[in-house]
Amino acid sequence: MKRSRLEIIKDILKIIQEKKNKIKPTPLLRYSNLSSQSFSQYIEELLKKGFIKEAGEKGKKFFSLTQKGFTYLEKYRDIISFVEDFGL
Amino acid sequence: MPIPPLQPNFGTEIIYSIVVLTICLMIYFEVNKFFKLTEYKGISYFQNTFLFFAIAYFFRFLAKPVVRSLFSIRMYFFNTIILLVFIYASCVAVFYLVYSLVWKKFGVVNGEILIHLIAVVIALIVLLTGNVLFFIVVNIVLLIYALVVVFLERKNKKFKMYFIYLLLVIFSILNIIDILVPNFIFGLQLWIYIFSIVVFLILLYKVLKEIK
């Protein structure tokens, strides 16, 4: 079954959280189960909207969650329940 | 037993308007918390429904003869503008509600522009021709469309609000008819006000419960 946009965002954020809030782009792409094109679009969106932040360490790039990212994960069940109950 | 006729006065009108306006704005700002977090289109259309209901009910209040006479709003131009905004906002609110249910089926087409365009056209036709029947027919068509959508969505067991949505559309149409053809529901206005408030309160309760 095709994942919804909200679900994909949750999955990406969850992966980052489960990897102790620090993950490189390549494993994140692999775990997120998206095409590289979709992955780039989602990462760009998540960075732009402030769900994740990019940090560099010894020349390597890492992604980690922001407070907004954590709040999204925390509220995800409520958001989905709201969307389903109101038929949105 | 027949329903006793109840006619609203200025006090009732102002209380009704303030209550509905407050409920609509509360729903709008509460839902906005989820929208800011997700930027999900369906949530945006849903919250816009209540923003436009709030605008509609504010202008509905101004459009009531009892209110107009009190503030001596007799100028034709202002009356026309008030009615225009009222009909436009009411149509947009109902359109947004229906669109929030079907927007995924529209694909890449942006139905929002269409919503505003159709609402402006309807408001202009009603005001320029004075043809209230046209407005009622459009709304009945919309109601039938909403009924079909809601019926189809009903198959989705998770969608629990179908009955409330239907009542919201019905009472919205009755509120518009109340302004355009006051004699049409003469004596029943207060009952419509009470039931409208109950419907809005149920929606507010549900929203507050889900967005803790």
* DSSP label of A20: T
- CA B58, B174, B189, B48 torsion: positive or negative? negative
- In chain A, whose CA is at the least distance from the CA of B45? A88
Helix (H) or strand (E) holding A6: helix A5-18
CB contact under 8 A, A79 and B34: yes
Within 8 A of B42 by CB-CB distance, chain A residues are 83, 88
Do B158 and B107 meet the contact criterion of CB atoms below 8 Å apart?
no
B42/A88 CB distance under 8 A: yes
List the 23-62 stretch of A: residues with Cβ below 8 A of B: 49
Query: Largest alpha-carbon pair distance within chain A?
Result: 48
Give the pLDDT band of residue B208 (cuts 50, 70, 90): very high
Better-scored residue on pLDDT, A84 or B28: B28
* B96-100 mean pLDDT: 88
Are the C-beta atoms of residues A86 and B44 closer than 8 Å to each other?
no
Structure tokens that stand for A60 in this block = 């390597």
Q: What is the pLDDT of residues A13-72, one digit of tens each?
A: 999 999 888 899 999 999 988 999 999 999 999 999 899 998 887 778 899 999 999 999
Neighbours of B87 (CB within 10 A): 26
pLDDT over 60 at B7, yes or no: no
Q: Does the model's ipTM exceed the 0.95 cut?
A: no
Instruction: Note the pTM of the prediction, 2 decimals.
Output: 0.83
Which residue in this structure is represented by tokens 């005001």?
A: B127
Give yes or no for A71 touching B (CB within 8 A): yes
For A65, phi and psi rounded to 5 degrees? -80, 145
Q: Is the pLDDT of residue B96 over 70?
A: yes
Which chain A residues touch B100 with a CB distance below 8 Å? 86-88
Q: Helix, strand or coil for residue A74?
A: helix
Predicted confidence (pLDDT) per residue in B116-174, tens digit:
999 999 888 888 887 777 777 777 787 777 677 767 766 665 566 777 887 888 888 78
Show the tokens assigned to A3. Answer: 């994942």
Residue by residue, what is the 3-state secondary structure of chain B? CCCCCCCCCHHHHHHHHHHHHHHHHHHHHHHHHHHHHHCCHHHHHHHHHHHHHHHHHHHHHHHCHHHHHHHCCCCHHHHHHHHHHHHHHHHHHHHHHHHHHHHHHHCCCCHHHHHHHHHHHHHHHHHHHCCHHHHHHHHHHHHHHHHHHHHHHHCCCCCCCHHHHHHHHHHHHHHHHHHHCHHHHCCCHHHHHHHHHHHHHHHHHHHHHHCC
Helices (H), A33-88: 36-48, 67-85
- A73 CA: distance to closest CA in chain B (Å): 10
Measured CA to CA, the distance from residue B33 to residue B47 in angstroms comes to 10
What pLDDT score was predicted for residue A13? 94
Residue among A42, A12, A6, A45 nearest A28 (CA): A12
Task: Say whether pLDDT at B104 is over 90.
Answer: no
Q: How many CB pairs under 8 A join A and B?
A: 57
Q: Does pLDDT of B1 surpass 60?
A: no
Is B210–A87 a contact, with Cβ atoms under 8 angstroms apart?
Answer: no
What's the Cα-to-Cα distance from B8 to each of B57, B134, B171, rounded to whole Å? Answer: 15, 27, 16
More confident site: B23 or B61: B23
Q: What is the pLDDT at residue B29? A: 96
Beta bridge partners of A60: A57
Select from A80, A81, A87, A85 the least CA-distant residue to B98. A87
pLDDT tens sequence across B28-77: 999 999 998 888 989 999 999 999 999 999 998 888 765 555 555 556 67
CB distance A78–B212 less than 8 Å? yes
Which chain B residues are within 8 Å of A71, Cβ to Cβ? 37
Q: How far is residue A8's CA from residue B38's CA, in Å, rounded to a whole number? A: 12
